[in-house]
Amino acid sequence: MKKLFARKKIGVFALVLLLAMALAAPVMAAGTTDTEEPAAAAEEQSEGTTIGMKSIAAGLAIGIAAAGGAIGMGLATAKSAEGISRQPEAEGKIRTMMMLGLVFIETAIIYALLVVILIIFVL
């Protein structure tokens, strides 16, 4: 059963990666006109490729960070709910530790967003 679940996870991840690359393909398809000089056309094509690569990198970075954060938050919430149901008297401590963990996970996602913004606007 676990092997089947692992295979499904890998399949979903591969499908999402393929979809992200397929949606980024039009960004990389920068065309040129025949009236431009060859050097200008090459420079424009190089700039279009750079923008396309930035778009792919930004999309993958924020997508992986958000997916990882969502999985981590879901597991943390599930485990804390199990812990509270087993030991109701420890609810305060369990909830405090869960919130602290969720804050750290969210901080990592925000750092990924900052890196994506740097990729788009600075590099």
pLDDT beyond 60 at 17 = yes
Q: What is the mean pLDDT of residues 91-111?
A: 95
Q: What is the pLDDT of residue 27?
A: 61
In angstroms, the CA 62 to CA 122 distance is 17
Place of tokens 């970075």: 61
Which CATH number does the domain housing residue 94 bear?
1.20.20.10
In angstroms, the CA 110 to CA 65 distance is 9
Q: What is the mean pLDDT of residues 17-42?
A: 63
Q: How many domains does the chain have?
A: 1
- Is residue 92 domain-resident? yes
- Is residue 86 domain-resident? yes
Alpha helix positions (H), 29-90 = 38-86
Q: What is the mean pLDDT of residues 92-96?
A: 95
Q: Residue 76 is part of which domain span?
A: 60-123
In angstroms, the CA 11 to CA 102 distance is 27
